[in-house]
Amino acid sequence: MEIRRHALLSPSVGTHRELLSFHYGTPGAGQKVYLQASLHADELPGMLVLHHLKQRLAVLEAQGLLRGEVVVVPVANPIGLDQTLMHGQLGRFEFASSENFNRHYPDFLALLGEGIAARLGQDAEANKRAIRAAMGDALGRIKPATELQSLRQILVSLAYDADVVLDLHCDFEAVLHVYTETPCLEQAEPLCRYLGAQAVLLAKGSGGASFDEALSGHWWQLAERHAGRYPIPQACFSATVELRGNTDVYHPVAAQDADNLIAFLQHRGVVAGDPPAMPAALCEATPLAGSETLHAPHAGVVAFHRQAGDYIEAGEVVVDVIDPLTDTVTSVTASVSGVLYARGIVRYATTGMDLCKVAGKVAFRSGYLLSA
Ligand SMILES: [Zn+2]
């Protein structure tokens, strides 16, 4: 295993941060897998999972059982990890810019431009190599101007040529769920089954230039643009894995998640040996555009009737919002049927606040599909 240290652009006199990446196996000996945790720095289940995964990878490497390269970044956001305000850790948005740490990643389709066509031919493998080389060139031309931009460039530079990219996040109170792009679904299914995902949410570009979509999106976009002329594979399977809720940080759960990730790596052929039998899927994939967010109709105390993981029928009451001055109790119902896969953690709602999310089967939203 090799540890590499990457210096972030210094934001201020006397201050330097760095990002550490852990490299297992042998580059070029097989597929490359990239895993990172806590890009939203206050989402910590993934950090513990990667702590456990590192121990397993070290043993597998010592036994000569790695068939490719696995890159692990357990602390993907040293900037956000250091943001504390009035005793609370705030790791989703950068204090300096107010930007979400998981937005504004490079648009490789635009960066590669029309010029990439001249480097393509009839061999899908050669096209994959040509596109990755062009991505590397494009990344090298980006000159970050801020510490946050340099963090984004370092993360993408570590991941851009990976066959599999897993970005480990969590929600507030949630069951394990996965976001991926529709063209990645076939590659996502084994991961979702090994991890026991209870919701799988699909989109073709959700609009936020998130880390996972920056790495997978241009592959299917180029394949569509050049359909019938040049074969272009979906050479990067990228997913955002939501490891339950903020406080679901426990050794037994994280150790099981790490075991499940190793099983997935065995299935991909990156770890030698037969993978354990693949569990049955716990859900069908549903469109992200079919996910309904329930909102507070007025301010008040939030009292949930239903738990994360419950199946909700359209029209069922999920949560009440109570104004204790007027004793108004307003029941909030879902308009779609599906799994209640995530709830908010705040129990006082301001008017319009997000309360929870239900994974409906039929797309009804369009445009920008992500939360702030
Ligand atoms: Zn997150």
Q: Answer left, alpha or beta for residue 249, where phi above 0 means left and psi between -120 and 50 means alpha.
A: beta
Spatial separation of the C-alpha atoms in residues 331 and 319, rounded to whole Å = 6
- For the entire predicted model, the pTM comes to 0.98
Q: What is the pLDDT of residue 372?
A: 87
**Ligand 1 centroid distance, CA of 247 (Å):** 13
Please report which confidence band the pLDDT of residue 73 belongs to, taking 50, 70 and 90 as the band edges. Answer: very high
How far away, in angstroms, is 326 Cα from ligand 1 center? 36
Please give the distance, rounded to the nearest whole angstrom, from the Cα atom of residue 157 to the centre of ligand 1.
Answer: 20
On the question of pLDDT at 180 being above 90, the answer is yes
Residue 288: pLDDT above 90?
Answer: yes
Kindly give the distance from the C-alpha atom of residue 170 to the centroid of ligand 1, in angstroms, as a whole number. Answer: 6
pLDDT for residue 371: 86
Q: Which amino acid is at 218?
A: H
Determine the distance separating the centroid of ligand 1 and the alpha carbon of 40, expressed in angstroms: 5
Q: How far is the CA of 169 from the centre of ligand 1 (A)?
A: 4
Q: Could you tell me which of 138, 129, 122, 139 has the C-alpha nearest to residue 32?
A: 129
Distance 43 CA to ligand 1 centre (A): 6
Mean pLDDT of all residues in the chain?
A: 97
pLDDT at 357: 98
Q: How far is ligand 1, taken at its centre, from the CA of residue 327, in Å?
A: 35
Mean pLDDT, rounded, for 146-165:
98
Q: Which of the four pLDDT bands, split at 50, 70 and 90, describes residue 176?
A: very high
What's the whole-number mean pLDDT along residues 278-306? 98
Give the distance (Å) from ligand 1 centre to CA of residue 167.
Answer: 9
Residue 230's nearest CA partner among 128, 355, 90, 358 is: 128
CB contact burial 14-44 (16+ within 10 A = b; e otherwise): eeebebebbbbbeeeebbbbbbbbbbbbbbb
**Mean pLDDT calculated for residue range 258-281:** 98
- The stretch 51-64 carries a mean pLDDT of 98
pLDDT for the residue 97? 97
**Measured CA distances, 264 to 97, 194, 277, 312 (Å):** 37, 7, 11, 30
Phi, psi of 64 (to 5 degrees): 75, 30
User: Residue type for 152, please?
Assistant: R
> Which residues are within 5 Å of ligand 1 (an ion), measured at CB?
40, 43, 169
For residue 100, how far is its CA from the centre of ligand 1 (angstroms)? 9
